[in-house]
Amino acid sequence: MLDVKRIRENLDEIKLLMGRRGEGEFDPKDLDEVLELDDKRKAILKEVEVLKNKSNIDSKKIPVMMKNGESIDAIKAELKELSDRIKEFDAELREVEEKLVYRLMRIPNVPHPDVPQGETDEDNVEIRRWGEPTKFDFDFKAHWDLGTGLDILDFERGGKITGSRFTVLKGLGSKLERSLIGFFLDQHTENHGYTEVIPPFMANRNSFIGTGQLPKFEEDMFKIEGLEYFLVPTAEVPVTNLYNNEIVDVDKLPIKHCAYTPCFRSEAGSAGRDTRGLVRQHQFNKVELVKFVKPEDSYQELETLTNDAEKMLQLLGLPYRVVKICTGDLGFTAAKKYDLEVWMPSYNRYVEISSCSNFEDFQARRANIRFKRDRNSKTEFVHTLNGSGLAVGRTLAAILENYQQADGSVVVPEALRKYMKCDVIK
């Protein structure tokens, strides 16, 4: 959620930056309406203050008048009228504030000036590459064919149990998935300074509002019927909301958490895209990285967060590239975002495996997450960041494809062998 004061003081600049998001993503009139509602809110508060001052003055007259034997009927009637008017203004104020919050909740974050201009993912800018796309001297297979042949992925039974875009992992496939989760968590906690948490896999509406999925993207959520709970689409939601409506200790900043959760997404609007295999599932596992930092540190922390996620791909020996996300592909909540894309031979292209974002104070304002620089300072909003470290199913798919052998077996990356207790999946 944007700061109204920031909008008022930088209206033209914000309109310019927001306009770079592209047609349909932002309407400049929304900002004008926010300021109009805020002006109305201030005017009502001023009127209420005048009436309350008048009421206080009149109330103090009553004991004196009674002492002097004067009638207080007229002043009591006036106080009743003042009280009624204050109640009317209070009701109007609630209505205006609800409209203001409604409007603010639906305005996206302001893109950082460094974010490249663009409309779709084709306009994202490649920053760097690591490794070279895998080459084969035999006819390679897609991961769904490899997994089926090795009897470690069962798409047919996953569909039978639930429906399309659900998969059963078994045998060494299950072990590889579990090994990746353990490997990611061990690396981030032991080498990158994150504290692991295991959060609930469901969250309430207030938590989803805090991280920005609601109210705008409810159609993408799996809601528990009859309850105000939703299945989490990412650990970002419960982990960020650990500190919802709290003032965190400045000495503990930056706070860095990592968490494994299953993730549940309806993938509304993605019909026909990447429907085979593990790339686009309704349920998948992911290890998430979440940071709470001082505002002045957030962009350096974004670089570090991205490097932490990159290190996972490097240790696994998977070729990848880093792209800077353009304005049209940025999403609702981020001010700046990098995607890590792993090489997937069956697609003959790089496929997203992690998004690393700086939200500045956008989420913290919605979730009311603050800190004080010292005992005498005013509270400030932290900056929040998160990134996948990594998406487990897509990593598994990338390992199967990039480490496959001519006989249909798959070499286990060296970094995973102590977890897998084997060198080859066959």
pLDDT at residue 275, as a whole number: 72
Tens-digit pLDDT profile for residues 94-114: 999 999 999 999 999 999 999
Q: Is the pLDDT of residue 322 over 70?
A: yes
pLDDT at residue 342, rounded to an integer: 98
pTM score of the predicted model: 0.92
Percent share of the chain, pLDDT over 90: 84
Mean of pLDDT over the chain: 94
Q: Report the pLDDT value the prediction gives residue 67, as an integer from 0 to 100.
A: 76
Beta strand 247-248 with 370-372 is parallel
By annotation, the residues acting in catalysis are 265, 280, 352, 355, 394
Of the two residues 349 and 219, the one the predictor is more confident about is 349
pLDDT at 267 over 80: no
Topology given in CATH for the domain delimited by 4-105: Helix Hairpins (1.10.287)
Q: For the purposes of burial, counting CB atoms within 10 Å of the CB of 49, is it exposed (0-12), middle (13-18) or buried (19 or more)?
A: exposed
What's residue 273's pLDDT? 60
pLDDT at 271 over 70: no
Residue range 11-44, pLDDT digits in tens: 999 999 999 998 777 888 999 999 999 999 999 9
Superfamily covering domain 121-425: Bira Bifunctional Protein; Domain 2 (3.30.930.10)
The structural domains of the chain, with segments of one domain joined by +, span: 4-105, 121-425
